[in-house]
Amino acid sequence: MTKTSEIKKITECNIHGKLNDLCNKWLIWLGNEKHYSKHTISSYYNDLVNFFKFLDVYNNTQLTVEIINNITINDIRAWLAHLKNQGYTTSSAARYLASLRSFFSYLNKYENIDNKSAINVKIRKINKPLPKTIDEINTKAAIDEALNLNTDYWIRLRNYAIMMLIYGCGLRISEALSLTKNNINTDFITVIGKGSKSRSIPILPEVIKAIENYEKHCPYNIENNKEIFKGKQGRKLNASSVQKHMCTIRKSLNLPEFITPHTFRHGFATHLLTNGADLRSIQELLGHKNLSTTQIYTKIDQKRVFDVYSKTHPRSN
C-alpha cells in the first residue's frame, strides 16, 4: 500500500523500526478493511508524519512503540497548539486529529496498545459552511454551454454527457468517471461510491441519450467493463480535465468562481428538496452514510426561502 519513498519519509522522523512496521500495517488496513481511497490514505499518512515530526522535536529522542503507548492528552494538545501557531485552521486541525484517532484506534484494536488519549482529546466544534449551489437556470445554461466549447465535437459531447450525469444522478465526479457500460441499464445506473459501497440511482432518458450520443461519436472503442469516458489519448478521463473545461464554461457565462462539477451534485440535492423530495430518498441517492450529512441541504433551502422573502416582502426594508 505504501511506496518506498513514503516509508523513508517516516524513517527520517527518527522512528524505531517496529513502530514503522505498525504505521505501514495501519495504512494497509485503511485500504483493505476500511476501503479508503488512495487519496484518503495518502492524506492520513501525511497527517501521521506531521505528528511524528512534531514528536521528534518535542521529545528529542527516537520514537518507539513505548513512547507512542505513553502519549498523553497534553502531548496531543501541544501538537494541536503547534498546528495553530503554524497557521492551520480549526478545520485542518480537526482533520489531523481524525487521522491520529484512526491510527490509535487501529493500535487499540489490533496491536494491544491501549492508549485512548487521541480519542479523548476534544476540539472546538466547527460550524461547517453551507455547500455552494447553483440555481436551475444557471445549471441548464452551464450544461448547454458544454456543447459550445472550442474543442473536438466528441469531446464537447463527452463533457455534456458528464455534466448531465452528475446533475441528473447527483454523482461525485469520481463516480461519474468510473462508470462503465455494465453499470448502466434502461432505468438505473449502479455506482460504486465511497468505501466501495454500491448504490442504484434512477437515470433520466435525457441522460442516457447524452451518453449514447457521446459513445456514438467517440473515436475510441468503449468496452463493457471499462470506463465510458475517455481522455484525448483514449485513456480513462481524469477529473482535472473536467475541472478545466468547467473553468472555461464558468468564464464564458460569467458564473461565480465557486462553481465546479461538484456544485452540480449539490444542485441535484437542493433542487430535489425544493421540489418536494424527502431527505431519506435524497440520502440514498447521494450515498450519504448519515442522514445528518444530507440535512445540510435543508439549511440551503431555508436560506433561499429567507432571501426570497427579504427581497420581495413589501415591509422587509
**Which residues lie below 8 Å from residue 262, measured CB to CB, with a gap of 6+?**
172, 173
170 in any annotated domain: yes
Q: Are residues 24 and 169 in the same domain?
A: no
Query: What pLDDT was estimated at residue 119?
Result: 83
Residue 187 lies in a domain: yes
Same domain, 36 and 178: no
Residue 129 resides in a domain: no
Are residues 23 and 75 part of one domain? yes
Domain count, the chain: 2
Q: Are the CB atoms for 99 and 47 separated by under 8 Å?
A: yes
127, part of any domain: no
Same domain for 151 and 89: no
Q: Which residues are catalytic?
A: 172, 194, 262, 265, 288, 297
What's the pLDDT at 9?
47
Render pLDDT for 304-316 as a digit per residue (tens, 0 to 9).
544 544 454 455 5
Grid coordinates belonging to 299: 439549511
Mean pLDDT in residue range 267-285: 88
Q: Are residues 271 and 304 in the same domain?
A: yes
Query: Domain boundary residue among 59, 92, 120?
Result: 120
Instruction: Judge if 252 and 288 occupy the same domain.
Output: yes
Check: CB of residue 14 under 8 Å from CB of residue 62.
yes
Position 166 confidence tier, pLDDT thresholds 50, 70, 90: very high
Q: Look up the CATH number of the domain holding residue 168.
A: 1.10.443.10
* Percent of the chain whose predicted confidence (pLDDT) is above 90: 46
Long-range contact set of residues 203-207: C-beta below 8 Å, sequence gap at least 24: 203/168, 203/169, 204/168, 206/164, 206/168, 207/161, 207/164, 207/165, 207/168, 207/169
Quick one: 101 and 58 in the same domain? yes
Q: Smallest Cα–Cα separation from 285: which of 172, 208, 186, 200?
A: 200
Domain of 39 in residue numbering reads as 4-120
Of the pLDDT bands very low, low, confident and very high (cuts 50, 70, 90), residue 127 is low
Q: Which of 79-93, 127-141, 213-227 has the lowest mean pLDDT?
A: 127-141
Q: Which has the higher per-residue pLDDT, 293 or 274?
A: 274
Residues 90, 171: Cα–Cα separation, whole Å: 29
Does 79 lie in the same domain as 149? no
Residue 130, in any domain of the structure:
no
Q: How far apart are CA 120 and CA 97, in angstroms?
A: 11
Closest alpha carbon to 213 in 266, 260, 158, 176: 158
pLDDT at 213 > cutoff 50: yes
| Helix and strand numbers, DSSP H then E, in the chain | 16, 2
Closest-CA residue to 123 (of 86, 83, 87, 67): 83
pLDDT surpassing 60 at residue 268: yes
| CATH for 97 | 1.10.150.130
